Amino acid sequence: MTVSQTVELRATPNSPPSDSKQRVGEFLKTLQDNICQKLEQVDGGAQFKQDEWERPEGGGGRSRVMTNGNVFEQGGVNYSEVWGETLPPSILNQRPEAAGHRWFATGTSMVLHPRNPYIPTIHLNYRYFEAGPVWWFGGGIDLTPYYPFLEDVVHFHSTLKEACDRNHPEYYPTFKLWCDEYFYLKHRQETRGVGGIFFDYQDGLGALYQGPDPKGPASQHSAQVGLPDRRSWDELFTFVQACGNAFLPAYVPIAEKHRNDEYGERERNFQLYRRGRYVEFNLVYDRGTIFGLQTNGRTESILMSLPPLVRWEYGYEPQAGTREAQLYDTFLKPQDWLSGAVQA
Amino acid sequence: MTVSQTVELRATPNSPPSDSKQRVGEFLKTLQDNICQKLEQVDGGAQFKQDEWERPEGGGGRSRVMTNGNVFEQGGVNYSEVWGETLPPSILNQRPEAAGHRWFATGTSMVLHPRNPYIPTIHLNYRYFEAGPVWWFGGGIDLTPYYPFLEDVVHFHSTLKEACDRNHPEYYPTFKLWCDEYFYLKHRQETRGVGGIFFDYQDGLGALYQGPDPKGPASQHSAQVGLPDRRSWDELFTFVQACGNAFLPAYVPIAEKHRNDEYGERERNFQLYRRGRYVEFNLVYDRGTIFGLQTNGRTESILMSLPPLVRWEYGYEPQAGTREAQLYDTFLKPQDWLSGAVQA
């Protein structure tokens, strides 16, 4: 398909149903409920505490935080529904049709920092925007292990791929590459973890990849795919529901498997050190975090993604041949985890 | 004075001596030496380890780091001398005359994270730029206490004021306000600490304040001062030397005073929590850090400012009437510390 066809398709409305905001909001609130309920059960100790908050400019949310659990040293699951007059320039560049229109956004986001260094940190975020004539879904999920267990990564990616494949055969291949591109620490030349899926600006029109790097693997793959058949609002909502509902089966078995693994000071120190990369990513690169902080968002809800305890160590390098080195050499580089080619 | 006069003055060269780079470089290296020598003596345990490094695009530096000392849990003192083809747009906006010219920059920067929560964290940075027809000095020093001791803050600011006053009566009043403006965490509505002095783009021409906020107290004060008499390169270099040499007398007595203060888990936890603000400032706001990370600087040297151990805690608020609350209520707001009006 050509560029002119893309523009033509975008100009043809692909309308959401009249109750779109309510339906997405209900799903995202239920997702928050289901996740919190299951995580409390897995933890078996701590419970989530909820703060409801309002945003002066419009909207609000409910933040839920668990601290000092048996399994989860800290976990935050946040739901919000906010609106305003003008979207920021970074978004209007991508969706100029939204200029001059009031916007609405709703989303559920989560970060879990487990206590045991053999359980990976996990992040999830799904969101929905409407602004005048345009709407889109975005979000994703990515896994950040401290120690390399290939079978965990394969389980995680397989579960995501299944959820994606039920909706479109090119979702997983494209959004997996987009995730590797997004969760990348340029100054460290490392991925944040082993990735997952990430997507944005999904309105059923245009190319699957709508990210900033026209030369990256995600963009190239998306160009090979070409312009897929138009997908309706309901099809995309079904896809996002599948992604959200894939979290518990993708992650909980990994947490359960390692919850009683024995570890010592070495593993704990490495976990605290690697958590520093999470802080660096969220404060230096993450668009949601930076946008929130600069636009009078609720600071405590935005920064509940930061780990409860973190170390930095000047000049640290893992010793060759150790599991820590294996993390760097294999797991912090983009990999095709489901190809069977990764050795670990 | 009017704007047209400013332009006229800038157009008239205020030339540096032919050996300007060598003289500033020698001073900044000696400053690094003197600071490291004295800090090792104060610490009485750990010593600095030096890494020399080269920058592929031109130049290099020597990073010195002390870890696990008696007094200093971590300390980094970095000297660098780098050059390149094109300054970044953020600097060219301020100094368009530098466009199309090769640039040279040299600087010494330092951050100390003491172990005892009663000793403040301290940051210092002095730097010098040349690019074609323009040159300027910049830098400053600021103190970040964990517990409120008014007499320490008064000693620190008095020592800086003395060093400034020997050079120009308006340096301290203007650069103190500029420091409050620069080291401010907007998303927390807190100053980073109790400030100090900060300045940039000092070339002996134009207004004392050259920062981004035309409505802030620093800008307003600078406008009241008007355009000071032209200052030569040598006068400004003498001023920067006075600032650099003021560090040891400004800080060491505070560290010595508190080095044996007894503290418990409460004070340690509060220190680790407050260190999180240092991370937030450096990664979200600090122009030097962000510029360095985004332009292929030496990551380990840039991030040696980050604390060795840090806590985040969702929803923390100090209990009314405690010393922790006094820090927030008085010490994390801009204050005229030398007026005698601050009660603590």
- The predicted-structure confidence for A114-156, as pLDDT tens digits, reads as follows 999 999 999 999 999 999 999 999 999 999 999 999 999 999 9
Residue B198 has pLDDT above 50, yes or no: yes
Among B187, B294, B309, beta carbon nearest to A311: B309
CB contact under 8 A, A309 and B310: yes
Most B CBs within 10 A among A65, A286, A314, hence the mutation to make, goes to A314
Residue A228 has pLDDT above 70, yes or no: yes
Put simply, the answer to whether B299 touches A187 (Cβ < 8 Å) is yes
Q: Which of A184, A187, A277 to mutate to test the interface with B (most CBs of B within 10 A)?
A: A187
pLDDT of residue A172 exceeding 50: yes
Q: Is B45 left (phi over 0), alpha (psi -120 to 50) or beta?
A: alpha
Residue A137 backbone phi and psi in degrees, to 5: -105, 150
B189 and chain A: CB distance < 8 Å anywhere?
Answer: no
Q: What is the pLDDT of residue B90?
A: 81
Nearest-Cα residue of chain A relative to residue B311:
A309
| Token representation of residue A124 | 């999830």
Token reading at B280: 């937030």
Chain B partners within 8 Å of A76 (Cβ): 314
Which is higher by pLDDT, A55 or A30?
A30
| Spatial CA neighbour of B241 closest among B81, B21, B26, B40 | B26
Instruction: Using a CB–CB cutoff of 8 Å, tell me whether B158 touches chain A.
Output: no
The average confidence (pLDDT) of chain B is: 94
DSSP assignment letter at A338: G
Whether residue A309 and residue B309 make contact (CB cut-off 8 A), yes or no, is yes
| Chain A CB within 8 Å of residue B312 CB | yes
Instruction: State the pLDDT confidence band at A57, using cuts at 50, 70 and 90.
Output: confident
> Quick one: pLDDT at residue A89?
85
User: What are the backbone angles phi and psi of residue B142, rounded to the nearest 5°?
Assistant: -145, 150
B295 has a pLDDT exceeding 60: yes
Residue A93 token pair: 């560049």
ipTM associated with this complex:
0.93
| Residue of B314, B316, B317 to mutate, interface with A, max A Cβ within 10 Å | B314
Do the Cβ atoms of B314 and A300 come within 8 Å?
A: yes
- Looking at CA atoms only, how far is residue A342 from chain B in angstroms? 29
Cα–Cα nearest to B186, from A22, A102, A292: A292
* Bridge partners, residue B110, by sequence: B77, B124
pLDDT range class, residue A10, cuts 50, 70, 90: low
Dist. CA A205–CA A11, nearest whole Å = 10
User: pLDDT at residue A292 above 90?
Assistant: no
Name the pTM for this structure.
Answer: 0.94
- Please say if the pLDDT value at position A266 is more than 70: yes
Instruction: Check residue A8 and give its pLDDT.
Output: 46
pLDDT score for A12: 57
A-contacting residues in B 214-273 (Cβ below 8 Å): 272
pLDDT of residue B203 exceeding 50:
yes
From chain B, pick out residues whose CB is under 8 angstroms from the CB of A295.
none
Q: How far is residue A109's CA from residue A292's CA, in Å, rounded to a whole number?
A: 13
A261/A258 Cα distance (integer angstroms): 5
B280 touches A: beta carbon within 8 Å? yes
| Amino acid making up residue B333 | K
Task: Tell me the two tokens of residue A6.
Answer: 């893309």
Look at A312 and B303 and tell me if their CB atoms are within 8 Å. Answer: yes
Q: Long-range CB contacts (< 8 A, 24+ apart) of A61-68?
A: A61/A298, A61/A301, A62/A32, A63/A298, A63/A300, A63/A301, A63/A304, A64/A32, A64/A36, A65/A304, A65/B314, A65/B315, A66/A39, A66/A40, A67/A308, A67/B313, A67/B314
Task: With CA atoms as reference, report the closest residue to B342 among B150, B147, B183, B194.
Answer: B150
Burial class (CB in 10 A: 0-12, 13-18, 19+), B4: exposed
Q: Nearest CA to B328 among B143, B217, B178, B193?
A: B193
- Check if the beta carbon of residue B15 is closer than 8 Å to that of residue B236: no
A123 labelled catalytic: yes
CA A71 to chain centroid: 21
Q: What is the CA radius of gyration of chain B?
A: 20
| Model confidence at B3: pLDDT above 50 | no
Instruction: Report pLDDT for A13.
Output: 65
8 Å CB contact of A314 and B74: yes
Q: CA-CA distance, A94 to A102, in Å (whole number)? A: 16
